[in-house]
Each structure stands twice: as C-alpha cells, then as structure tokens.
Amino acid sequence: MKTVVILPTYNERGNISFLIEEILRSVPDVGILVIDDNSPDGTADAVRASMQKHASVRLMSRTGKQGLGTAYIAAFKEVLKDELVERVITMDADFSHHPRYLPELISTAKSVDLTIGSRYVKGGGIAKWELWRRQLSYWANVYVRMILRYPIRDWTTGYQCITTRALRAIDLNTIDLSGYAFLQELKYALLSSGATFREIPIIFQARREGESKISGFIIREGITGPWKIRKTTKS
C-alpha cells in the first residue's frame, strides 16, 4: 500500500459509504483512513460497515469535534508510522472533491512533493456555487498569495497529494491553525522546507448531502491566518 487517502468527517453519514466505494473504483490499491470526530449522525457506524467489505479501510475515532487541522495532523502521524507508505491524499468527504481526479494526483506525485487539485488554474473551476461563495474563495486566494508569496493559485483547496518524504521534512507539531487556514499553513510549511509542487485542474462540486462547514470563525481565521503564518515563520 503506497498511497493512503485521508478523510476527516463530521456528520457525513449520507456521503461517506458512497465516497469510499467511488474512491476504490477509481484507485483500487489505495488505503483509506477516516478520522471521525464523534459525529452524532452515526458516520462512524457507516465507516465500520465499509470496513467489513474492504480491508483497506480504517477508522480513527476521536472524542469530539476538534477541527480540521488537528484531524489531519493526527492522521498524518498515524500514516507516517508505516515506512511503506509513499504518499497521502487529503480530500473532503462530501464529494466536492471528485474521486475521478485521484489517478492524476497520484501520477503527478511521482515527480513532485505536493500535487494540488486546483480550481484556479486553466481547466479548473467551481460548479453550482452561489456568486458570493465564488467571490469569497477567489479573493481569499488572491489575498493569501499576496501575503505568503509563493505562486500557488489555490491555497485553500484541501484536495492534494503529498509525499511522505516531504511530510517527514516538516515539524507537524508547529502547525496549529485549526480550520481551513490549516491548509494554507501546511502548504507554506512544505514549500518553506523545499518541497516542489504542481497544480492540476479540478472542478469543485457543491456537496451532495449535508450542510456546509463554513462559519464565521473559519472566515476570520482565513483573514488572520496568513499573517500569523508569516510572523511565526520569521520568528
């Protein structure tokens, strides 16, 4: 097993079983690690049912909702225990990141450390989003790019493939932003450590089931987060 797909979940019972099946149809040889924050809708039970069908599926259950960043850090540390794993893929559990892009993500990761599924390169885009969300996402990425000064077009995407070699080159314990700003901090840490990257186009879809996780806290952290990243790195 050279690639592990990491899926943080909170109230994704309506999506997770179908997503696991589609992932394994697209890339049958990957492992899947679901990190569930004690979802009250029974997401973990749906994952356990999938585990009965697929030996490559694992579940990490946490005691409460602790945030996207801590979920990924916990998952990274677990995956890095296995020296045979060469790549990890991060993606949302709501079908906004379609599994059909997984083969290209994995293929591209053979030549770079960080492969980014990007909405803001040629061929990429967003489907079925309200205008205000499109504008918020676009200008957020312009804002982050101006502050962090690396030429990534899509800083806020969570669809990416990272080599374990690159993950081992950074100190995961220093990454402490908890919401979607975590994705910016992780990319910045990887590039600052010398990781190479490439963006491939994806079409971002509106979630199939459930409610969006965006909140006032996430937006505020998105505004202050890039400055905190720069300040922490300088100090």
| pTM as predicted | 0.90
Element at 25 (helix H, strand E): helix 13-26
DSSP bridge partners of 9: 36
**pLDDT at position 134, please?**
87
Give me 8's structure tokens. 């943080």
Tell me the backbone φ, ψ of residue 133, rounded to 5 degrees.
-75, -35
pLDDT tens for 192-212 read 999 999 999 999 987 655 455
CATH superfamily of the 3-234 domain: Spore Coat Polysaccharide Biosynthesis Protein SpsA; Chain A (3.90.550.10)
Mean per-residue pLDDT of the chain: 90
Give me 87's structure tokens. 């790549």
**pLDDT at position 75, please?**
97
Q: Is the Cβ–Cβ distance between 70 and 45 less than 8 Å? A: no
Give me 64's structure tokens. 């409460």
**pLDDT at position 234, please?**
47
Give me 112's structure tokens. 């770079």
**N-terminal to C-terminal alpha carbon distance within the chain:** 39
**pLDDT at position 206, please?**
75
Rounded mean pLDDT, 8-13 = 95
pLDDT at 214 over 80: no
Rounded mean pLDDT, 63-69 = 85
Rounded mean pLDDT, 29-57 = 97
Q: How far is CA 127 from CA 58, 98, 216, in A?
A: 31, 12, 23
**SS3 state of residue 230:** helix
**pLDDT at position 207, please?**
62
Lowest mean pLDDT among 73-82, 99-108, 116-125, 138-147: 138-147
pLDDT tens for 96-116 read 999 999 999 999 999 999 999
